Chains A and B, each alone.
Chain A
Amino acid sequence: MLMFNLIGFCIILACFALDRGKTIRSVRRGLTMFWKIVPEMSVVLILISVSLAILTPEQLKQWLSTDTPAHFATALVVGSVALIPGFVAFPLAGVLLKNGASVMLVAGFLTTLLMVGVVTLPMEAKYFGWRTALIRNGLSFVGAVAIALAMGRVL
C-alpha cells in the first residue's frame, strides 16, 4: 500500500507541476467524493469487524473441515458474508486443503469470498443503487457456486 500511495503522490505532484489550477480542482473533487462515502464507510467498518470477530479462523477451520453438503453450504454463506483479507483467507484455505477438506468446499469458500460482498453492500449501493448491487452479488454468487462445482470436478 505504501507503493500505491507513493506512486499516487508522484502522479499528483506531476499534475501540479503541469497545471496548478486543474490539479487543485481535481484534489477538491476527490476529497468531496471521499467525504460523501464516509457514512457508508463507517457502517461497513462496523459490519466487517463484528463479522470477523464472530467468525474466527479457528472456528472456520472447525466448520469447514468436514465434507457434507451442509458444510459446503456453510462455506458459501460464510464466504459471501464475511470480508476476510487475503493474507488471512489464503493461508486458511491452504490449511483446510491440507487437513483434507475437498477442493469444492475450499474453492466455494474462496470464490464467494472474492466475488460476493454482503457486508460491503451499503458502499456498493451508494454508487450503483441497491437493485444493481443486489443483482451483481446474486449473479456473482451463482457464478461462484458454478466455479466451485467445476473445480471440484477437475482437481
Chain B
Amino acid sequence: MKTDRKTVASLVATGVFLLFCAWGVWLAHNDIARRSAVGYLGFLKEMLSVLPMMFLLIGIFDVWVPRDIVERHVGENAGPIAILWMILLATLQAGPLYGAFPVAATLYKKGCAAKYVFIYLGAFSVMKLPMLSFEITFLGWKFSLVRLVFTLPVFITIGYIMGRSQACAA
C-alpha cells in the first residue's frame, strides 16, 4: 500500500505543477512558470526516449545473463581488471545519470561488487564518449584531457570507499 500512496502523491504533485504552469502561461504571463512548462516537456521527452528501452534491456540482462558470469568478471574477487570492464561499459552508453541508477542496482543484484558498481556510476557520470566529444568541441581537448586525468583517480577512489563503507540497499 505504501507504493500506492506514493504514486498518488506524485500524481497530485504533477497535477499541481501543471496547473501552476497553465496559470503562469495563460493568466499571469509568469516567466518562471512558462519556462518550467517548456523545460518539463523537454525533460519528459528526454526521459521517455531513454528510460523505457533502458528498463527493457535491464529486464533482458536480468533474465538472460547468468549470475556466475557477472560474479566471475566483476564480482568481489574479480581483480582490478573489473575496473576496465566497468569503465568500458559506462563510456559506451549515452544519456543522463539517472538512467544509470537502475542498471547499477541490477548489476549489484547480479553479484557485481559494490565498489565496481560505484566505479560504473562514476565513469558514467564523467566520461561517456558522446559527452566527451561534445566537451572537446566547446572547451578544447586540453581541458577535457586534464579533467579526465584528474577525474579518473577520484571516482575510482570514491568507488573503493563506497564499496568498503557499506553495501547497497537494493
Residues of A at the B interface (CB closer than 8 Å) are 1, 4-5, 8-9, 11-12, 15, 22-23, 25-31, 33-34, 36-46, 48-50, 52-54, 56, 83, 85-87, 90-91, 93-94, 97, 103, 106-107, 110-111, 114-115, 117, 120, 123-124, 126-129, 131-132, 135-136, 139-140, 143-144, 146-147, 150-151, 154-155
Instruction: Tell me how far the C-beta of B14 lies from the nearest C-beta in chain A, rounded to whole angstroms.
Output: 5
B58, CB-defined interface residue at 8 Å: yes
B66, CB-defined interface residue at 8 Å: no
Q: How many A-B residue pairs have CB under 8 A?
A: 213
A22 touches B56 (CB 8 A): no
B51 touches A28 (CB 8 A): no
A132 touches B7 (CB 8 A): no
Instruction: Tell me how far the C-beta of A64 lies from the nearest C-beta in chain B, rounded to whole angstroms.
Output: 14
Residues of A near B165 (CB, < 8 A) are 135
Q: Residue B59 contacts which of A28, A37, A114, A144 (CB distance < 8 angstroms)?
A: A28
Q: Residue B146 contacts which of A27, A29, A56, A155 (CB distance < 8 angstroms)?
A: A155
Report the Cα distance A97→B140, complex, angstroms: 11
Residues of B near A91 (CB, < 8 A) are 138
